[in-house]
Chain A
C-alpha cells in the first residue's frame, strides 16, 4: 500500500462499497454527488491539540517527549493522561522509540514555556497522569505556542496545525485529527445541501491511534468523551424515522452515535463516554455507512469496519485498494462502506 506522505486535499480517490456489495472506484470529488435527498452526513467537529510537547526531565536533563493522550476532565488544559517517549523524534517510528528513563510521581518536566509534574504513574511504563502548572489561560497559551502536532514517521515535512484541522474544526479537544474529515470541504457540504442531503456535526475527543507499544495499543481506543448537540441528535432521529441514511465521517462519529443510542435506536443528546470497541459482533443501531481512510487488516480502525462488512469483504476491498494504487494513512484516499445487507455477498468491481 502506498503511504500518503503529505497533507493536501488535491486529487484523491474514493473506493466505495454499497449495501449490495457493489464496489466502485472514483475520484473523491464525486463524494458531493453521492447519497440521496433525505440522507444525513455527520462529522466530528473536534479541532486537534498540538499534543506533542518536547522538553527535558528536570532532575537529569534527559530529553523527553510528552504526547497528550486523553483528558482527565474535558476542556481542562492543566491535567492530561499522557505518553512519555525518550530521545528521538518523529523520523523514528513510535514503535521503535526508546522508552524514557523511569519516571516517578513528583518528577518535574520543562516543556518549553511550560512546567509539568508527573502526578501518577499509570499501569504502563509510558503512561502517566500529568499536571501542567499555571492558570488555564497560561497553559493553553503554552500548549498553543510550544506544542506541535503529533508527527508521523511517514510524513517527512513537519506538520503544522493547519495541516491537521479539518475545514469544519471547532473546539480543540482531539489528540489526533479525526482524519476522515479531511475528505470534506465547504463546497462539498454546499452541494449536498442543494441536493437535499443534510450535514451536521458532533464533538468527539479523538484519542491517539498508536502508542508505540503493542500491549498498550491493544487497549486503544481509550474511553473517549463526546458531546452530541441537541440539534444533531434531533436530526439523526428525524432522518432515521423517515427512512433516510446516516453516513458517519470517521470511526469517532460511529463510536459517539452508537454509544448515544438507546436500545430503540434513538440517539440521546448531551455529553457521554464512548467505551469499548465496536467490531464484527456489534449490531449498528444508527449508522448506515462510514466514510473513512484506507485501513489495512491489523490497524486499530480496521476492527470497527467489521461492524459494516465481514472480514472477507474488507480484505478484498483492501487488496483492491492496493491494486488500484490507493494511499493509506491520515492524508490518504478514502473508503465509503455501507452496512452490508448480506455479509456473505462477494465483492465485485463495476
Chain B
C-alpha cells in the first residue's frame, strides 16, 4: 500500500522543470492531481515534457530580468492564480568546480543571477497572487530548493555555495516578513541527488550512493502538503 497525497486542484509552479529534481517534482505533482506550470529554457524540451505530463510548459530564463514578468503572467494567466511556487532552477556556476580565487566574476554573477536574483524576482512578481491564495485559502507557500553547500564551506563550491547561502537566508527573512500575509517560505535541502548537475560537479561520484530525484521529489511534496494542510483544507488519500 502506498500513501498518496491528493493535491487535486492545487496550483503549483516549478522552475527548472525539465530535468533532475524539477522534472521529478512536475511528474509527482501532476500525478497527485495538482495543476502544474513549469518553466525551463529549451522550447523543444518544454513542449515535450508538457505533452508527457499534461502540464503547462513555459519557455523562459529566470536569470533574465526581461523574462520574469512574461513568466509570471503565463503562470497566473494559465493557472488562474497560484498556491505554491517552487524555485528549483539552479546554476552550478563554473563548468568545473573552482576555488573562489580562480572563479571568473561572470561565472559568480551567473550563479547569483539564477539561484538568488531569479528566485527573488519571480517570487516578488508572484507575491500578489500568493497573497490572494493565502487570503482565500488560508495559506500559500514558496519552496526554495537549497543545498548543504548553503551551510557547509566546501572548497571548490564557492559560487554555488555562496548563492545557496544567500537563497537560504533570503528565504528565512521573507518567511518572517510574509508570515502575517499568510505566505509561508521553506528552504529545503534535497540532499545529493543523481542528477546532471551533480554529475557535472562530481563526474566520478558513484550514482548508487546518490538519492534518486524521484525520492527527493516525493519528500518535498510530502513536506509541502504537510505545511499547507496545517492551514488549508487539503485531502489526503490512502490508495492501494
Cα distance A75–B79 in the bound complex, in angstroms = 10
- Give the contacts of A39-74 with B (CB-CB under 8 A): 45, 47, 49-50
Q: In the complex the two chains form, is B78's CB within 8 Å of A140's CB?
A: yes
Cα distance A206–B68 in the bound complex, in angstroms = 23
For A198-237 the 0/1 string (1 means CB < 8 A from B) is: 0011000000000000000000000000000111100000
> At the interface, yes or no: A137 with Cβ under 8 Å from chain B?
yes
Nearest-CB distance from B2 to chain A (Å)? Answer: 32
- Give the contacts of B52-89 with A (CB-CB under 8 A): 56-59, 68-74, 76-78, 80-82
> At the interface, yes or no: A77 with Cβ under 8 Å from chain B?
yes
Q: B129 — which chain A residues lie within 8 A by C-beta? A: 47, 169-171
Q: In the complex the two chains form, is A145's CB within 8 Å of B70's CB?
A: yes
Cα distance A92–B76 in the bound complex, in angstroms = 33
Cα distance A62–B34 in the bound complex, in angstroms = 45
Given contacts A45-B128, A47-B76, A201-B132, contact A141 B69 (CB under 8 A): no
Q: In the complex the two chains form, is A144's CB within 8 Å of B78's CB?
A: no
Q: A189 — which chain B residues lie within 8 A by C-beta? A: 181
Given contacts A140-B77, A145-B70, contact A231 B136 (CB under 8 A): yes
> At the interface, yes or no: B169 with Cβ under 8 Å from chain A?
no
Q: In the complex the two chains form, is A161's CB within 8 Å of B73's CB?
A: yes
Cα distance A200–B69 in the bound complex, in angstroms = 23
- Give the contacts of A128-179 with B (CB-CB under 8 A): 136-137, 140-141, 143-145, 160-162, 165-172
Among residues of A, the one whose C-beta sits closest to the C-beta of B69 is A161
Q: A165 — which chain B residues lie within 8 A by C-beta? A: 69, 125, 128
User: For the complex, would chain B's binding face be called helix, strand, loop or mixed by DSSP majority?
Assistant: helix
> At the interface, yes or no: A105 with Cβ under 8 Å from chain B?
no
Among residues of B, the one whose C-beta sits closest to the C-beta of A194 is B180
Q: In the complex the two chains form, is A160's CB within 8 Å of B77's CB?
A: no
Q: Which of A47, A140, A141 contacts B128 (CB 8 A)?
A: A47
Q: A45 — which chain B residues lie within 8 A by C-beta? A: 128, 132
Cα distance A160–B65 in the bound complex, in angstroms = 11
Q: A49 — which chain B residues lie within 8 A by C-beta? A: 73
Given contacts A143-B73, A168-B128, 9 further A-B contacts (CB under 8 A): A45-B132, A47-B128, A137-B57, A140-B73, A161-B69, A162-B68, A165-B125, A170-B129, A229-B132
In the complex, 29 of the A-B residue pairs with CB atoms within 8 angstroms, ordered by the A residue number, are A47-B72, A49-B73, A75-B77, A75-B80, A77-B77, A136-B78, A137-B74, A137-B78, A140-B74, A140-B77, A141-B58, A141-B70, A161-B70, A161-B73, A165-B125, A170-B76, A170-B82, A170-B129, A170-B131, A171-B80, A171-B132, A186-B127, A186-B177, A186-B181, A189-B181, A201-B132, A229-B135, A229-B136, A232-B135
Q: Could you list which residues of chain B lie within 8 angstroms of chain A, going by C-beta atoms?
A: 56-59, 68-74, 76-78, 80-82, 125, 127-129, 131-132, 135-136, 177, 180-181
